[in-house]
Amino acid sequence: MTTPGGVAPGGAHQQGGKFGQDETEASARQKITQPTRDVWQIVQDAWKGRFEDQGAVLADQKDGQVALNGRLDLLQATAGHACAFMSHTYTVPPSTVVRIPFNTQLGPMKKAGVDTSAGRLVLKAGGLWRVDSQTCIEGYTLNQTIIPTSTAPFFTVITTYDAIVPHYVIQVMRADGSILSSRVFDGVTGVSMGASGFSAVAAPNSSHFSHTFVLDNMPPEDDPSAPEHWVYVQVSMIYTPVATGTFSNAFCTLNGGTKRSALTASRWSRDVANIVNAPTVPDGGAIT
């Protein structure tokens, strides 16, 4: 092209030039893509800049997370635990309230302990606690019914075997013995007559139940007044015979050992919000 009296645009062929003879694939690609690449670079720089502006914040956050790696001590103020089991197997009389003697410590303890003389746990810090209990009993009711007959000795005795009905209660108590909170559980044992017809087969019956509650803050354990604020957890039981005969008698064995008995306390939180104890509530009508 010609440009009389004017300035040729960049890249235009002019008289005396090489008319593109020195153009290569690389230089052609450069001319075609350069404008787009320039814009794309601007976009990349802007996008990168947004993250570079946050770099200091992200670095501080990362440093903070790394610093927490070895700070297990932050959890130590929250943790609390204790576990006990029964060191013996006991027989239990019918229709009598007895305290189940969880009198032997199992494992470490923290902010809690085992009152071995009373067979219960002691909690030494406020917060949200959960108590779990496992018991195992074997028992049955022996019923004998007298049936009159017309021949000597003019009566016969029919022997049957029935279950017993155990009731359990977890009690959370102050040091003075007053009740802070409690939870009741019920169970029924399995029993059947033996093949001879003269004995009972009582299958072991295990019961697991739990109770969750909140305790108010307490003084540190080394405070001389601390024991006055400690809270005690015990499990009691009573069982009633299923009396269906003229004469009845009931038998119950409460199994001990680590295999079939446990009372465990775990502290889930140090917070003491929403301390609620509502053992009974009003009738709310039908749920729809």
Residues 212, 265 within the same domain: yes
Q: What is the average pLDDT across 68-76?
A: 64
pLDDT at residue 22, rounded to an integer: 66
Residues 205, 111 within the same domain: yes
pLDDT at residue 146, rounded to an integer: 87
* Omega prior to 220 cis, within 30 of 0: no
- pLDDT per residue as tens digits for the range 142-163: 888 888 888 888 788 888 888 8
Give domain status of residue 260, yes or no. yes
Residues 59, 86 within the same domain: no
Residues 88, 161 within the same domain: yes
Residue 256 has pLDDT above 60, yes or no: yes
Residues 108, 40 within the same domain: no
- pLDDT per residue as tens digits for the range 159-218: 888 888 899 999 999 999 999 999 999 877 666 555 555 555 666 788 899 999 999 999
Sequence-distant (≥ 6) Cβ neighbours of residue 9 within 8 angstroms = none
Q: What's the helix, strand, coil split of the chain in %, to 5? A: 15, 40, 45
Residues 66, 144 within the same domain: no
Task: Tally the domains of the chain.
Answer: 2
Give domain status of residue 274, yes or no. no
Give domain status of residue 144, yes or no. yes
Residue 168 phi, psi (nearest 5): -120, 150
Dist CA 113 CA 258 (whole Å): 17
Give domain status of residue 276, yes or no. no
pTM: 0.68
Residues 83, 63 within the same domain: no
Residue ranges of alpha helices (H) inside 68-202 are 73-76
Residues 219, 255 within the same domain: yes
Secondary structure tally for the chain: helices H, strands E: 2, 16
> What is the span of the domain harbouring residue 88?
79-269
Q: What is the average pLDDT across 238-257?
A: 91
Q: What is the average pLDDT across 77-86?
A: 88
Give domain status of residue 284, yes or no. no
Residues 257, 200 within the same domain: yes
Q: Are 139 and 162 in contact (CB under 8 A)?
A: no
Give domain status of residue 150, yes or no. yes
Give domain status of residue 153, yes or no. yes
Residues 137, 58 within the same domain: no
Give domain status of residue 46, yes or no. yes
Residues 31, 88 within the same domain: no
CATH of the domain at 118: 2.60.120.40
